[in-house]
Amino acid sequence: MANIRIFDTTLRDGEQSPGVSLNQSEKQAIARQLARLGVDIIEAGFPVASQGDFESVQAIAKAAASEDSRVVITGLARAHHGDIDRAAAALEVATNPRIHTFIATSPIHMEKKLQLTPDEVVERAVDAVQHARNYVDDVEFSAEDAGRSDIDFLARIFQAAIDAGATTVNVPDTVGYMTPWEYGALIEGLFERVPDLHNVAVSTHCHDDLGFAVANSMAGVRAGATQVECTINGIGERAGNASLEEIVMGLNVRKDVWGHDVAIDTRELYRTSRMVSSMTGMTVPPNKAIVGDNAFAHESGIHQDGVIKAIETYEIMSAESVGRDAGVLVMGKHSGRRAFRKTLDDLGYQNLEDEQIDGLFRQFKDLCDRKTTVTSEDIRALVDADSVRVPQTFKLLGVQFQSGTNVMPVATVRVETQDGVKQEAAQGDGPVDASYRAIERISGVPLKLESYEIRSVGHGKDALGEVSVRMRHDDDTVFARGLSTDVLEASAKAYVEALNKFAAGMGLGSKTSTDNGQAP
């Protein structure tokens, strides 16, 4: 049974989603989780795009090497020596490095964007692959906008890339224009024209502009592709990429149709989705397949009746199989540090530092005082929130609210700052607004709230509330989160995290791009 390799590009194409920017520690936390999920290849970034991208590819490659991970780490590079040199430098520390180089092959991209003839494009592709092969044995070549390229030209450039040493060739539907049968026929046609494709990995990379990204990728697999490029929650440029969780569960649940294995631990899917959603600020719609809040909810009486009699009546996979075991009670207030550590191990957090465990244990004890049942999902939320290191320039010490019907909301906030502990009270349109005004008085930094979302981690009236905000300061924005059983406190925590991110220069404003008309 053939294996399909899962190439995750959440940290590269996913990070190209409008408004998304992850800082280095968020990228590293996601990369660690992707490795735990079992992806075969992590595209960690586009090293030439910025110093930040370079450093995070390097840090992710280093972490994977030190953990002896089998995962391949790749960095993107246009078909230029400068890009390839930079990718190679970032990947120098990797145990399993891959350089991913690309050039556009559609008439519109070649004429209008690159202003190169087809012959020149082939020459550039060959030169890029050869140059990359001087550094690494594993080189992927992508024909950008393959979906709108001439198939005979694609066959020619792929053959040339393979002759030059490419070990994977990728067929991107960059603009999400194709239908599943067209994409399947394209892959089939390429196999007919280029028999050497059987000696390399053939990859799909489909965008979702018409909502066909997953269907197109699956059609590619059916036609013989052996690698699928995708992102967690389907995030990515414009309408996004093929969603990893849908591809994986499609291959898994309908193995009878596809006949392929993947090396993914599907029980890590939900957690990975939650982590990416909260770190990127890109919310998952409730009806999203596999990971949406409603994906396993049965609302109508007829469905509920069926599920009670036999779950298979309306469920084609179990919630547990994708890691949605939220209701499991794992610990209580009498559990000690040793039991807590064991629970962390069981949940897959084997590599935490002692100091981090101490901090998490304190948070767990606080949670036990506020919540009657502490579930595995609560503990995961605590660890995920703790996995991103933001220097604590401001520390929320306490917040008190006065609000109700016909009462002007007032919040009193205490914050530790670099100039000592400060306290302020303020009125507002609501308690959250009042607390934000009070914090602004303390910090002296005017922030504009651009978006505010709240979700519950798990169920029940004492469930943890997770507040995600997007804040603006001058030309810079950040996403930040706060977690608490008290949603007002969670809101204040999110605001303080935003302040800390601005103070540490972790804003989106620091995101740079290689916008010279050739960025993917």
Least Cβ distance, residue 130 to ligand KIV (angstroms): 19
From ligand KIV, Zn ion, none, which one binds at residue 144 (CB under 5 to 8 Å depending on kind)? ligand KIV
Q: Is 290 left (phi over 0), alpha (psi -120 to 50) or beta?
A: left
Q: Determine if 520 is a binding residue for ligand KIV (CB under 6 A).
A: yes
- Interacting residues of 1 by C-beta distance below 8 A, sequence separation 6+: 259, 260, 261
* Site string (156-175) toward ligand KIV, x via CB under 6 A: --------------x-x-x-
149/485 with CB nearer Zn ion:
149
484 vs 366, 378, 438, 487, CA distance in Å?
10, 10, 19, 6
> Tokens 């981090």 map to which residue?
356
Q: Determine if 10 is a binding residue for ligand KIV (CB under 6 A).
A: no
165/172 with CB nearer ligand KIV:
172
102/479 with CB nearer ligand KIV:
102
The CA angle 210-520-245, to the nearest 5 degrees, is 50
From Zn ion, ligand KIV, none, which one binds at residue 501 (CB under 5 to 8 Å depending on kind)? none
CA distance 492 to 483: 10
From ligand KIV, Zn ion, none, which one binds at residue 102 (CB under 5 to 8 Å depending on kind)? ligand KIV
Q: Is the CB of residue 392 less than 8 Å from the CB of residue 500?
A: yes
CB-neighbour burial class of residue 25 (10 A; exposed 0-12, middle 13-18, buried 19+): middle
420 vs 113, 393, 395, 424, 455, CA distance in Å?
55, 11, 10, 13, 33
Pick from 359, 501, 495: which is nearest to 440 by CA? 495
Q: Determine if 13 is a binding residue for ligand KIV (CB under 6 A).
A: yes
- Which part of the chain contacts Zn ion (CB under 5 A), choosing from 8-16, 43-51, 69-77, 216-224? 8-16
102/270 with CB nearer ligand KIV:
102
Q: Which of 102, 141, 349, 364 binds ligand KIV (CB under 6 A)?
A: 102
Q: How many residues bind ligand KIV (CB under 6 A)?
A: 10
CB-neighbour burial class of residue 238 (10 A; exposed 0-12, middle 13-18, buried 19+): middle
102/158 with CB nearer ligand KIV:
102
Q: Which of 5, 131, 156, 205 binds ligand KIV (CB under 6 A)?
A: 205
Q: Determine if 466 is a binding residue for Zn ion (CB under 5 A).
A: no
Q: Determine if 142 is a binding residue for ligand KIV (CB under 6 A).
A: yes
Per DSSP, the three-state class of 397 is: strand
Least Cβ distance, residue 90 to Zn ion (angstroms): 19
Q: Determine if 86 is a binding residue for ligand KIV (CB under 6 A).
A: no
Structure tokens at 285: 């719609």
Q: Which of 144, 246, 268, 377 binds ligand KIV (CB under 6 A)?
A: 144
Taking CB atoms, the residue at the shortest distance from Zn ion is 13
* H or E segment to which residue 63 belongs: helix 51-66
* H or E segment to which residue 388 belongs: none
Q: Which of 4, 8, 11, 13 binds Zn ion (CB under 5 A)?
A: 13
Q: Determine if 173 is a binding residue for Zn ion (CB under 5 A).
A: no
75/172 with CB nearer ligand KIV:
172
- Pairing between β-strand 448-457 and β-strand 464-473 as defined by DSSP bridges: antiparallel
**Residue numbers of the site for ligand KIV (CB under 6 A)?**
13, 102, 142, 144, 170, 172, 174, 205, 207, 520
